[in-house]
Copies of this chain bind each other. A is one copy, B any other.
Amino acid sequence: MESDVLAFENFLGKEGVLKDDITLNTTDWTGQFKGPGSVVLFPKNTEQVSAILAYCSKNKLAVVPQGGNTGLVGASIPVHDEVVLSLSKINNSFSFDDTMGILKCDAGFILEDLDNKLASLGYMVPFDLGAKGSCQIGGNIATCAGGIRLIRYGSLHAHLLGLTVVLPDEHGTVLHLGSDIRKDNTSLHTPHLFLGSEGQLGVITSVTMTAVPRPKSVQSAMLAVTSFEKCCEVLKLAKSSLSEVLSSFEFLDEATMKCLKTNLDLHSVLGTPSAFCVLVETSGSNEDHDMAKMGAFLDECLSKELILDGVLAGSSADATKMWQLRESAPLAVSRDGYVYKHDVSLPLKNYYELTNVMRERCGDLAKSVVTYGHVGDGNTHLNITSEKHSEALENLLYPFLYEWVVAHGGSISAEHGIGQLKLPYSELGKQPEERLLVKKLKNIFDPNGILNPYKMI
C-alpha cells in the first residue's frame, strides 16, 4: 500500500493524495455509512483520472468514485479498503451556448454553482435537489438524480448529450461519448448508459447537457384535499389546465404536517386541517398569464369540490413558507426518532395504499408513519419512525415493504439508487436474464471488477 501511495503521489503530487483525516470522504453525510478506506485521491483533470485507473487496474485495486458525497444509499462510500477517487477538484472547464442552451463542464462542478453561472445567462439547470449546494453534476448523472421539477423538465435522460468518461482498464481509456450538439444519431447512445450507473462503469469527468430557459415568474399554491383519490383528480386537472407552466406537484400527508408542527414548530399555511396537502408550482415567462392560469385552476378545483381550501402565495415570502414545509419534511421526520426512510415509486392507484398497509402492519411499534413526495411522478417518500431502533419493527418492514412495492408494479428505488442500502433487495422483481445482461455490460466497461464493488451490480 505504501508503494501505491507513492505511485499516486507521483501522478497527482503530494497535495492530491489524502491519507489522514479522511473520514469526511469515508462517511456519508447522514452518518449511516462509514467505510474503512485509507486514501483519498484528488485528481485535477481527466488525464490524472486515467493514470489512476490504469494503475489501479494493473494492480487490482478497488476504487470508489465520489462526487459531492450527498447520496442516500452509500454508493460513494468504501465498503472495505477501496481507494476513494474524489472528483471535487475537476471543476475548471465551463462553457455555455446561450442560443442552443447547451452546457459543457467538468464533472466536479457543484450543481448550485452551475445554476448560478447559468442564471446570469437567462438559463437554469433543469433539475433541483435539496443537496444542490454540495452535490456535483457528475454525481447527479451517475445517480440519475430526480428532484422536485422532474414533472416539468423530465429526467436527466431528457438533457444528457455527451460525456467524457474514464474506464477502469489497464490503459485508463478515456472515452468521449455522445457529442456536444443537440442531435446525433451516428452510434449507440452510450452516454445514457451512465445515467444511474452509480460509478459501476467508468468515472465521469465531463458532462454536456441542455439547460432550460430560466422562468421569469414562479407561482406556488397549497391545497387542502380530503382524499388521495381527489389528489389524483387535482393532478389530472393541473396537467390539463396548468399544462405547460406546471413545474411541481408535491404532496404531504396529515402525519407529515403533524411532524412539522410538533418537531419543528412549522404550521400549515392553510386554515383548514385536511388529510392531504398538495403543493403546486408553476414556472413561466409571463407573471400575468401564470397568475391567471393558477387562479382559474384553483377556481375549478373549488367548484368541482376537489379541494377543501386553497391558498395562492401572494408574495415570495408566502411561497417560501409553503416550500419550507415541503423541504423541512425530512428534517421534521428525523427529529421524530429513529427513521426508516424510503424512496419508492408506485402506480398512483397504489401510491397511498402502501402507507395505509404499512400503518396497519406496524401498529403501535411505529411512532409515526408519514408520507410526502413527488406524487406527480408516482414517487413516495414513506417514512416510518420509532423512539429508537427496533428490530421487531425492522422485521415487520423488510422485506415485506419492498416485496409489496414490486408486487404492485413499483420500483424499490425511484431516485436514490441501490448503492449499499438496497443491495439486499436489488434482485426483487428482476428477471434473471436482465441481471445477467447487466453483469455482462458491467464486465465490458470494468473487466477487472475494480470499480465500486460490493454495490449495485
- Contact indicator A185/B409 (Cβ below 8 Å): no
Best-surrounded residue of A154, A195, A293 (most CB of chain B within 10 A): A154
- Contact indicator A187/B438 (Cβ below 8 Å): yes
A122 within 8 A of B: yes
A170 within 8 A of B: no
Within the complex, which residue of B188, B195, B409 is in contact with A196, where a contact is CB–CB below 8 Å? B188
Within the complex, which residue of B101, B158, B411 is in contact with A183, where a contact is CB–CB below 8 Å? B411
Q: Nearest residue in B to A377 (C-beta to C-beta)? A: B182
A258 within 8 A of B: no
Shortest distance between the CB of A407 and any CB in chain B (Å): 13
Given contacts A185-B417, A188-B197, contact A437 B175 (CB under 8 A): yes
Query: Which of A105-113, A304-312, A342-350 makes up part of the contact surface?
Result: A342-350
Shortest distance between the CB of A87 and any CB in chain B (Å): 20
Within the complex, which residue of B99, B243, B426 is in contact with A232, where a contact is CB–CB below 8 Å? B99
Residues 200-234 of A at the B interface (beta carbon under 8 Å): 200-201, 213, 215-216, 232
Complex CA gap A379/B100 in Å reads 11
Q: Nearest residue in B to A146 (C-beta to C-beta)? A: B183
- Contact indicator A186/B426 (Cβ below 8 Å): yes
A177 within 8 A of B: yes
- Contact indicator B240/A176 (Cβ below 8 Å): no
Complex CA gap A11/B29 in Å reads 57
Query: For A431, what are the chain B residues with a Cβ–Cβ distance below 8 Å?
Result: 175-176
- Contact indicator B192/A189 (Cβ below 8 Å): yes
A6 within 8 A of B: no
Within the complex, which residue of B289, B378, B411 is in contact with A185, where a contact is CB–CB below 8 Å? B411
- Contact indicator B441/A188 (Cβ below 8 Å): yes
- Contact indicator B192/A157 (Cβ below 8 Å): yes
Query: For A418, what are the chain B residues with a Cβ–Cβ distance below 8 Å?
Result: 185-187
Given contacts A183-B377, A244-B285, A441-B188, contact A433 B175 (CB under 8 A): yes
Query: For A155, what are the chain B residues with a Cβ–Cβ distance below 8 Å?
Result: 158, 183
Within the complex, which residue of B159, B286, B440 is in contact with A444, where a contact is CB–CB below 8 Å? B440
Shortest distance between the CB of A155 and any CB in chain B (Å): 7
Complex CA gap A160/B352 in Å reads 25
- Contact indicator B213/A183 (Cβ below 8 Å): no
Complex CA gap A285/B236 in Å reads 14
- Contact indicator A285/B197 (Cβ below 8 Å): no
- Contact indicator A348/B100 (Cβ below 8 Å): yes
A143 within 8 A of B: yes
Complex CA gap A143/B160 in Å reads 18
Given contacts A160-B157, A185-B416, A438-B190, contact A173 B433 (CB under 8 A): yes
Query: For A260, what are the chain B residues with a Cβ–Cβ distance below 8 Å?
Result: none
Given contacts A176-B431, A183-B415, A286-B289, contact A154 B143 (CB under 8 A): no
Query: For A98, what are the chain B residues with a Cβ–Cβ distance below 8 Å?
Result: 236
- Contact indicator B411/A243 (Cβ below 8 Å): no
Complex CA gap A430/B188 in Å reads 12
Best-surrounded residue of A182, A243, A379 (most CB of chain B within 10 A): A182
Complex CA gap A183/B196 in Å reads 11
Query: For A157, what are the chain B residues with a Cβ–Cβ distance below 8 Å?
Result: 157-158, 160, 189, 192
- Contact indicator A345/B183 (Cβ below 8 Å): yes
- Contact indicator A187/B99 (Cβ below 8 Å): no
Q: Nearest residue in B to A241 (C-beta to C-beta)? A: B285
A119 within 8 A of B: no
Complex CA gap A150/B451 in Å reads 36
A43 within 8 A of B: no
Query: For A189, what are the chain B residues with a Cβ–Cβ distance below 8 Å?
Result: 144, 157, 192-193, 195-196
Within the complex, which residue of B158, B184, B215, B348 is in contact with A99, where a contact is CB–CB below 8 Å? B348
Query: For A442, what are the chain B residues with a Cβ–Cβ distance below 8 Å?
Result: 188
Residues 406-457 of A at the B interface (beta carbon under 8 Å): 409-418, 422, 426, 430-431, 433-434, 437-438, 440-442, 444-445, 456-457
For the complex of A and B, the 3 pairs showing the least CB-CB separation, nearest first, are A158-B158, A243-B285, A192-B192
Q: List 29 A-B contacts (CB under 8 A).
A: A99-B232, A99-B236, A99-B348, A154-B154, A157-B160, A176-B431, A180-B347, A181-B347, A181-B410, A182-B377, A183-B415, A185-B411, A185-B413, A185-B416, A187-B430, A190-B193, A190-B434, A190-B438, A192-B192, A216-B243, A243-B284, A243-B285, A244-B244, A244-B245, A244-B283, A244-B285, A286-B293, A289-B292, A444-B444
